[in-house]
Amino acid sequence: MTSLLDVRDLHVTYSGGGGDVPAVRGVHLSLDPGDTLGVAGESGSGKSTVALALLRLLPAGTRITGEILLEGEDVLRMRWGRLRAVRWAGASVVFQGAMHSLNPVQRIGEQIAEPLLVHALVKPDRVGARVADLLEQVGLPASRRRDYPHQLSGGQRQRVMIAMALACEPRLIIADEATTALDVMIQAQILALLERLVDESGIGMLMISHDLSVLAATCDRVAVMYAGRIVEQGPAGEVVHEPAHPYASALSAAFPRIGDPASRLAPRGLPGDPPDPAQAPSGCVFRPRCAVAETVCATVDPPLWPVRPDRDGRSARHAACVHVGPGGGPERTDSARDGSARSGPDPGGPGPGSAEEEEETSR
Amino acid sequence: MSAPTGPAPAGPATGSRARTPAVTARALARRRRREALGRFVREYARNRAGLLGLASLLTIGALALTAPLFVDQAHLTVTGAPGDSYQPPSREYPLGTDNFGRSVLDLIVWGARVSLTVGLLATFVSVTLGTLVGVTAGHFGSSGGLGGRIVSTLLMRVTDWFLVLPTLVLAVALAAVLPRGTGTIVIAIGLTVWPPTARLVRAQTLAVEARPYVERARALGGGHTHVMGWHVLPNVMPVVLAQTTLLVATSIIAESTLAFLGMGDPTTISWGGILESARTAGAISAGIWWYMIPPGLAIAVVALSFTLCGRAVESVINPRLRGQS
């Protein structure tokens, strides 16, 4: 089964005024149809950059290397015309901040019809019916299509954005902080809506959020990003409730668990700030903030290891920490598979072999 | 809904199923358009100043259009003048007569035809040019890569060049070089007053381009034309509209100025032309006020009316200004 989305060794470097900023450093992701993958991480971890890179929406002058295979086709090598066709028809985006992603001087019906007209997928006289259809699908009455964005509430606007994302029946939806500015009730409604749509139509969804609890509730699998790399990836429940990487556990512990007084009484934060991507520390980038750092962490940049692998060395879950490495400790890193070859200063992360293994074990 | 003109639907089952939603959609669109028009009229009617400007424009426009019905064109020629020279306002000549004995009222009514035509056409030319240059420069300057920035810079330098040239001098030069006629005046004014519009539109375009919905439009596969036509232009329109109302006034005044300076078409009667003949005839020193004041007032009233109308239309079209007037 070819996966819907396969990101291999993605590197994104912004060229800013003060020099190059490597925002994403070697990310591997894969997503199957009907699957939801959550990407978590704090601000500046590169999660939105990954989302924008998928459709090459980054500002001009940004360097992107690696492979982004959307249904087997490399987005990074597409011609401009093909790229425009793939945008929205192949993969669509629900942007963060629906407040500003709608044009204030056009009616929402016209804006939902916009991708249909741009891609000429529906005959002009059928557009009205299709728009009504889409609005009903996201739980808005079709009569609201004559409204302007300012006549809608925040949740309704986000529904409009989702209707717009669904317009061309894409295979993949990228939800970039889709529920961030909404209150909790609306957030729950929007999440339920997204979940229902994914279930009904078998599309894949890449959900980006800083809110681990949102991802745990919605996604099948979760990837935790830190400083432009994935530090842990696996089934949502396992990653959120028994994280293997110290950063993932800090992120998870930052949310009090309802019904567990202990977690309320002993809140744990994470001291310090994420590293400046332009001057990342040597070895493991999380080392300066890590509570369980060892001396070896200063020199070894660990690749994604399988967590609690079975007899064949496979696992649904991977974490990039020396404590997770073969044998569970740093002392045996060098004796493990080609671990020592991949660790060290190379920030490229796991090689292609590991990516293939990732693909095999993802389902 | 209109009666079917073609043959009756052939395939009853498939035909009607395919046709019904199409008809409904068209009917819906028609109803929506009707409702939108009704909303527009209601919103506009709430603006008193706008109504006043509109009423005055409609009156002047109707007078100008119907002028041939009640103004005898023979009376407008120097030889066919009906009265004596410099008759003060009377029952027969409400605004008196000029040095040739022509009725000043007739001249003003007839002059409205040329002044309005030239003012509107010149505005159309300059607003179109300015908007085109402004949107193109703004759009490619912010999202066109290196080639786009070069195009944008070139366009703006040309704009700057036109901006620093004194408008009137350039218009006079153009009017002098080109063959005489109303078309020449339109082009001379249109080509000289567009740079401020271009700069204004470019600034607004840059502001709009930075909005997330433009990024969204690009993400959904929209090209340059789509972004410029669908997102930038409608958001720039309020500014263009405001600029248009000011420009109609400016253009009418510019036309009057050119005619007053003798650059206009001597065979037509325009308000500026009347002012010029009043000056050359020595009406000022002779105290013939009814020859000087009416054309000047006419220019002022039309300019004011356009401005009032434009403000009212802007407040209706821009949803954000709604309810603030």
* The pair of three-digit structure tokens given for residue A283, joined into one six-digit string: 């070895």
Report yes or no: B167 and B192 within 8 Å, Cβ to Cβ: yes
* B179 touching chain A per CB within 8 A: no
Which candidate from A85, A104, A125 shows the least CB-CB separation from B25? A125
Å between B319 CA and nearest CA of chain A: 7
* This model's pTM is above 0.80: no
Chain A residues within 8 A of B26 when measuring between CB atoms: 125
Place of tokens 């409904």: B24
Q: Which of A100, A106, A150 sits opposite B212 (nearest CB)?
A: A100
CA distance A151 to A102: 12
Residue B61's nearest CA partner among B302, B307, B304, B309 is B302
Residues of A in contact with B145 (CB under 8 A): 60
Are the C-beta atoms of residues A267 and A256 closer than 8 Å to each other? yes
Kindly tell me if the per-residue pLDDT of A362 is higher than 80.
no
Supply the pLDDT for residue B81. Answer: 79
Structure tokens at B162: 């036109």
Taking the Cβ of residue B40 and every Cβ of chain A, the question of whether any pair is shorter than 8 Å is answered with no
- In chain A, which residues have their Cβ closer than 8 Å to the Cβ of B141? none
Beta sheet of A5-16, edge-to-edge order:
A19-31, A5-16, A63-70, A73-74
Q: How far is A308 from chain B (nearest CA, A)?
A: 40
C-beta atoms of B216 and A95 within 8 A: yes
Q: Which of A224, A154, A221, A312 is nearest to A5 (CA)?
A: A221
What distance in Å separates the CA atoms of residue A248 and residue A226, rounded to the nearest whole number?
A: 9
Looking at chain B, the whole-number percentage of residues with pLDDT higher than 70 is 88
Q: Which residues contact A235 (CB under 8 A, 6 or more apart)?
A: A220, A221, A222, A316, A317
> What band does B17 get if pLDDT is binned at 50, 70 and 90?
very low
Whole-number pLDDT of residue A1 = 53
Give the nearest chain A residue to B319 (CA atoms).
Answer: A105
Residues shown for chain B:
325
CB contacts under 8 A, B 120-149 vs A, are 143, 145
Exposure letters A222-252 (e unless 16+ CB within 10 A, then b): bbbbbbbbbbbbbebebbbeebbbbbbbbbb
What sign has the CA pseudo-torsion A74, B209, B144, A81?
A: positive
Q: A interface toward B at CB cutoff 8 Å?
A: 55, 57, 60, 84-89, 92-93, 95, 97, 100-106, 114-115, 118-119, 125-129, 146, 148, 150, 164, 168
Nearest to B22 among A101, A104, A125 (CB): A125
Torsion of CA A75, A76, A78, A84, to 10 degrees: 60
**Complete DSSP assignment for B163-205:** HHS-HHHHHHHHHHHSPSSHHHHHHHHHTTS-HHHHHHHHHHH
For the domain spanning B93-321, the CATH number is: 1.10.3720.10
Task: Give yes or no for a contact between A300 and A341, defined as CB atoms under 8 angstroms apart.
Answer: no
Q: Do A84 and B223 touch (CB under 8 A)?
A: yes
Q: Over the stretch A173-182, which tens digit does the pLDDT of each residue have?
A: 998 888 877 7
| Residues A214, A217: Cα–Cα separation, whole Å | 5
Question: Which residues of B, range 182-241, sit inside 8 Å of A by Cβ?
Answer: 211-213, 215-223, 226, 230-231, 234-235, 237
Q: Report residue A345 as tokens.
A: 């200063």
Check A89 against B221: CB less than 8 A apart: yes
DSSP string, B63-127: HHHHHHHHS-GGGGSSTT--S-TTPPS-SSSTT-B-TTS-BHHHHHHHHHHHHHHHHHHHHHHHH
Instruction: List beta partners, residue A6.
Output: A30, A69
Q: Please name the member of A105, A115, A168 whose beta carbon is closest to the beta carbon of B319.
A: A105
Residue B268: DSSP 8-state? S
Strand, coil or helix: A94: strand
pLDDT tens column, A130-141 = 999 889 888 888
pLDDT of residue A332: 39
**Which chain A residue lies closest to B209 (C-alpha atoms)?**
A103
pLDDT digit string, tens, across residues A239-260:
888 888 888 888 887 776 666 6
Q: What is the pLDDT of residue A268?
A: 65
- Whether residue A139 contacts residue A197, with contact meaning beta carbons closer than 8 Å, is answered with no
- Give per-residue pLDDT as tens, B119-140: 899 999 999 999 999 999 999 9
Q: Counting every residue, how long is chain A?
A: 363
Residues of B in contact with A125 (CB under 8 A): 21-22, 25-26
Q: Lowest-confidence range among A119-133, A263-277, A286-300, B13-27?
A: B13-27
**B17–A contact, CB cutoff 8 A:** no
Using pLDDT thresholds of 50, 70 and 90, give the confidence band for residue A324: confident
Percentage of chain B beyond pLDDT 90 is 25
Q: Under an 8 A CB cutoff, do A129 and B25 touch?
A: yes
Other CB atoms within 10 Å distance of the CB of residue B30: 11
For residues B255 and B185, the answer to whether their CB atoms sit within 8 Å is yes
Q: Is the ipTM of this complex over 0.90?
A: no
Q: Which residue of A101, A123, A147, A174 to mutate against B (max B Cβ within 10 Å)?
A: A101
Residue among B211, B212, B226 minimizing CB distance to A118: B226
- Give the span between the Cα atoms of A78 and A68, in whole angstroms: 10
> What count of other Cβ atoms lies within 10 Å of the Cβ of residue A292?
10
Q: Comparing C-alpha atoms, which of A308, A362, A314, A305 is closest to residue A339?
A: A305
- Nearest CA to A72 out of A172, A2, A169 is that of A2
Alpha helices in chain A (DSSP H): 47-54, 80-89, 108-119, 127-137, 154-166, 184-201, 212-218, 236-241, 246-253, 261-265, 339-342, 352-361
**Closest in A119, A126, A148 to B221, CB measured:** A119
pLDDT tens-digit readout, A67-114: 999 888 898 888 888 888 888 888 888 887 767 888 888 889 989 988
Do residue A118 and residue B222 have CB atoms under 8 angstroms apart?
A: yes
Domain ranges of chain B: 93-321
Q: Which amino acid is at A4?
A: L
Residue of B nearest to A56 (CA): B219
- Number of other CB atoms surrounding residue A309 within 10 Å: 16
